[in-house]
Amino acid sequence: MRDIVLLGGPGAGKGTQAQILQKQFGFRQISTGDLLREHRNHGTELGKAAEGFMKRGELVPDELIIKMVEGELRDDAGVLFDGFPRTVAQAEALDALLESRGRGMAGAVYFQIDRASLEERLLGRWTNPRTGRVYHETFNPPKVAGIDDEDGGPLVQRDDDKPETIKKRLDVFEAQTMPLVAYYQHSERLAAIDATRPVDEVTHVLLHVLGLDHGH
């Protein structure tokens, strides 16, 4: 399978592994949040249609999202879907789209990690707002607390990483993602990875389950 859905809570490490797959194997990452922003910024027909729903505080309909995704399936490069699909209906629509393009159905990788570990990871995150570089109080602290190692400027804690927001994000994740895990598991397209392990170990297992480790 060349098209992979990444499932896992905020802070599970999906983004880090997606970057590694992009650099080493030429995958393209598709995040629907980024797609929506691009279409709105460029004033495309799909962007204008989506903006109408967003202004009214409504969810953008699945068919609009799927059309945006379809526009990204331009070549043979494998695609990493991050933050999409969010519902079983979207997963079914994505499968139908990929099949219609002769790509076969997507596989899914579930970054498994308990809620307490996710909270610990998210609560300690500090970000450089100028470069996006992320530190962690416990796992990757800056040399001087609150100061970026590289540019010496202040680090901030994003609103996303504050305790009350984290609880809400994890509640939403659990409600949305567990049905998707079941959907991919049911059709035997799910690989679960222990995401509590160090980054390089997670990469090693990920490459193995995707058949990308060269010894196989």
Indicate which CATH number applies to the domain containing 168: 3.40.50.300
d(CA 82, CA 111): 12
Instruction: For residue 40, indicate whether it is catalytic.
Output: no
Q: Which residue in the list 158, 162, 167, 168 is annotated as catalytic?
A: 158
d(CA 188, CA 81): 18
* pLDDT at 1 (0 to 100): 54
Instruction: For residue 121, indicate whether it is catalytic.
Output: no
Q: Is 54 within the bounds of a domain?
A: no
Instruction: For residue 169, indicate whether it is catalytic.
Output: yes
* pLDDT at 165 (0 to 100): 86
- Check if the beta carbon of residue 58 is closer than 8 Å to that of residue 109: no
Higher pLDDT, 75 or 35: 35
Q: Is 58 within the bounds of a domain?
A: no
Q: What domain range is 203 assigned to?
A: 4-27+77-209
Q: Which residue in the list 40, 133, 169, 189 is annotated as catalytic?
A: 169
Q: Which residues contact 14 (CB under 8 A, 6 or more apart)?
A: 6, 7, 8, 82, 111
Q: Which band of pLDDT confidence, cut at 50, 70 and 90, is reported for residue 80?
A: very high
Chain position carrying tokens 């068919």: 63
d(CA 46, CA 16): 29
Res. 215: pLDDT tops 60: no
* pLDDT at 186 (0 to 100): 96
* Residue 11 tokens, joined: 């802070």
Q: Is 13 within the bounds of a domain?
A: yes
Q: Is 144 within the bounds of a domain?
A: yes
Q: Is 62 within the bounds of a domain?
A: no
Q: Is 68 within the bounds of a domain?
A: no
Chain position carrying tokens 């999409």: 84
Number of domains in the chain: 1
Average pLDDT of the segment spanning 26-36? 88
User: What do you get for the CA distance between the two ends of the chain, in Å?
Assistant: 15
* pLDDT at 216 (0 to 100): 44
Q: Is 111 within the bounds of a domain?
A: yes
d(CA 45, CA 42): 9
- Check if the beta carbon of residue 113 is closer than 8 Å to that of residue 195: yes
Residue ranges of alpha helices (H) inside 80-196 are 88-100, 115-123, 163-186
193 pairs with which residues across the strands?
111
Q: Is 81 within the bounds of a domain?
A: yes
Supply the pTM of this predicted model: 0.80
